[in-house]
Structure 1
Amino acid sequence: MSEIRVASRYAKSLLELAQEKDVLEKVNEDMKLFSKTVAQNRDLQLLLQNPIVKADKKLAVINALFKGKVDSMTLAFFDIVARKNRESLLEFIATEFERQYNLYKGIQKAKVTSAVPLTPALREELGRRLVAQTGKTIELEENVDPSLIGGFVLRVGDKQIDSSVKYNLRKLKNNFKDNSYITKI
């Protein structure tokens, strides 16, 4: 069974249990904290993936890092995953949990990259339009990339709208290259 399918099953089980115990929001925050911690700490990531280090040692490190910071149910979940020797999947489980949580709550992630930071009015307008188009709550991630010169690149799910000056200049340049035979006549 593939890692993603196994991670999906664990994430689904955790989501359902968290709903049942009425701690879904807390567990969601815990899984975000776990993902962030692993992403920022390469040593922890390597430790979890290392097949030589025993599961109880990995669990001890996880407990040392997260005990008192996460819900007791989240710690118990980490324990179960470690006892099943699946701790190398915890990073995938956390990512899959967030995906399933967003699906359950009707949250759509969107990423906008612009040449300059968005003004609050523009941010609000963009959020309103995305809500109208998707019918979902929008979680907007903003990035600034001065190389775009102007405009923005918006990514929602698997769709991308590139309205940047950089893209339009590149398109114009390619059109000139394609039409260069006209100048030879």
Structure 2
Amino acid sequence: MVVSFKPYSLALYELAKDKDQVPYYMEQLKKLSDIWKENEDFLKALRHPKITRREKKEWISQLFESELDPLLYRYLLVMVEHDQIGYIPEIYEAFIEVYKEDQNIESVLIESACPLSEDQIRQIKTVIEKKLKKNIEVRTNVVPELIAGVRVRTKDFVLDNSMLSRISNLKEKLENAY
């Protein structure tokens, strides 16, 4: 069963956007996500079906009522009501996705055989931004197996201009020629 956390994150995102405080709520949700991840027993208890919503609300109240923005605190209580309180890390990740969609941001991974200079990264970023018509968030990774060239991965496609790819393509053509 695939569960989408987007509706829960979208609701919080819209509230944060209405208050013009998206970065603040993103930061607070990240902190909550980290708390959930760092406390495995707490996470298991929040997800346990035999622990009542009332008990979970009491825990949330004791731990967070005086610590959180009132809107975010109420949001957690609503998540208890919807049996989603144990999934704050997933809701945070979905919140980031909603933010990126709203801001027209695409995450791109640039892989190269050796480290790229800032200028090379900037040039590749400019080309990809023009192609996608989006703001690009770049991550880089060194993959020596590529031999030379670069491979660019986005959510929707892979552009592989590496020597490894060229060798593989040549090998395939030679195999198919006979």
- Per the normalisation by structure 2, the TM-score is 0.77
Q: What do the CA deviations read for 1:99-123 (whole angstroms, capped 9, x no partner)?
A: 1111111212111111122201011
Is 1:135 paired with 2:130? no
Is 1:3 paired with 2:6? no
2:28 to 19, 27, 30: 30
Aligned residue in 1 for 2:112: 114
Change (3 A) 1:142 1:30: farther
Q: In 1, are the aligned partners of 2:34 and 2:89 still within 8 Å (CA)? A: no
Q: CA deviation at 1:57?
A: 5.4
Distance 2:35 2:141 in 1: 21
For residue 162 of structure 1, give the secondary structure of its aligned residue in structure 2: strand
Distance 2:140 2:35 in 1: 21
Q: CA deviation at 1:2?
A: 5.9
Change (3 A) 1:134 1:71: farther
For residue 153 of structure 1, give the secondary structure of its aligned residue in structure 2: strand
Q: CA deviation at 1:171?
A: 1.8
Aligned residue in 1 for 2:170: 172
- What amino acid does structure 2 have at the position aligned with 1:116? C
**What is the percent sequence identity of the aligned residues?**
24
Change (3 A) 1:20 1:43: same
RMSD of aligned residue pairs (Cα, Å): 3.3
Q: What do the CA deviations read for 1:33-91 (whole angstroms, capped 9, x no partner)?
A: 555666x7593796255445555459848x869x86x7554344233212432124333
In the TM superposition, structure 1's runs of 4+ consecutive aligned residues that sit over 6 Å from their partners are none
2:143 to 128, 138, 145: 145
Distance 1:153 1:35 in 2: 32
Change (3 A) 1:23 1:143: same
Distance 1:45 1:118 in 2: 43
Distance 1:59 1:153 in 2: 50
Q: What do the CA deviations read for 1:109-156 (whole angstroms, capped 9, x no partner)?
A: 111111122201011111211222222211111112222222121012
Q: In 2, are the aligned partners of 1:15 and 1:101 still within 8 Å (CA)? A: yes
- Per the normalisation by structure 1, the TM-score is 0.75
Structure 1, gaps ≥5 residues long: none
